[in-house]
Structure 1
Amino acid sequence: MDDLWPLAALRVRSGDLELRYMDDADVRALALLAADGVHAPELMPFTVSWTRGTPVEVARSVLAYQWGARASVSPEKWNLELAVVRDGEVLGTQSLMAHAFGVTRTAETGSWLGLRHHGQGVGTRMRLMVLHLFFEGFDGLRATTSAFDDNAASNGVTRRIGYAENGTEILAREGRPAVSRRYALDRAAWDARPDDLRLDVSMDGVVGARDQLGI
């Protein structure tokens, strides 16, 4: 598929961790992973409660979302959903989303890991890897992200990497108001990150991805 859909060749690697553009086998593995649990039942880290329901309903939500993200990619608006893989096992997904990237050079990151992979330091590494793709591969200038105030793990990763707080907003979450914290990381802050946040990263398929995304 690489000749017709260059994004299919996109890979970002660091140590035993890989971010890769998902094929149908990865999407299926991701759906089954989500069906097995993404977060504790009393929590909800997402604005859309797609993790509620039976395992089959959750899996189907993942399939529909991933297929939709793949089909809607264009230079004007794109959502790159990358599988997080270690030793051949899909651990979760790391996304990079942009609108009018050629003008703004700004993109938003989002992610989730299967519940059984929480607490292993993967979240920080996969964020650093996608930021490497964004800044070094795509010549991005400003990365943004957000997390609900009670999502301690996500907020902790974001602050550790050096994002600046960029305000809050009140969002509806399962019928109740919830505070969402916004963050931004510019190129200067990325370049100034400490040595312990500098990974040895390699990338494949970036030239083709840039061409398909109009970068």
Structure 2
Amino acid sequence: MLTLSAPPTFLQLWLLPRLATFEARIGGLDISLESNDALIVPTWRGSGARLAIRYGRGPWPDVTNYRLLGDELFPVCTPALLKQHGQPMKPADLARHTLLEVAWNSPQSATVPGWQTWLETVGVANQVSPPQRRYSLSGLAVDQAIAGRGLMLASLPLVMDRLASGVLMIRPFGEQHALASPMTYDLLTPAIGEASPAVARFVDWLLQEATVFDGEANKAH
């Protein structure tokens, strides 16, 4: 048995779609998934091996830390929204659109750049109103963006699969105006103790999936 906890939206939009690959290729491991982003110390003891994926800034205390994915933030929306309201050809045109804000969570209370930082970076903070809608979970903002309710400042790992379709989401400014995030998605394992072969295979598989994703993200650039 392996218990893995991860932030809810990352679990839903990045990890779950990839688990079928692990089960098809390797299998042999009962996996229990928990939606959680609290700062915990995983342990091999108890009902099952316990791993965690966290979004934050290392180093993490009392665990072995593997960098899983880096991150960047950029505006996304649906093609239909741009067609309906007019495609933003430059950042100042966002004044015609609703901005969806995410209260990014980190167990370390690290700060993630938001719309205000993005607007200041591109030089239009005095021309565009601050975000009108705010969400405590990034998944809620993703759902609202896909529903055409506005533009979201999105985290790359959470939306790249949807961007690939070209239907659910697009980047209205292309590859321009992305903000590098100080946060990373990290895999945390116990600092002491040996994993079973099955758990070790799962960890290896997860790191390989992250490498593949990074390669696809670099190609997209």
- Normalising by structure 2, we get a TM-score of 0.24
- Normalising by structure 1, we get a TM-score of 0.25
Structure with larger RCO (C-alpha < 8 A, sep 6+): 2
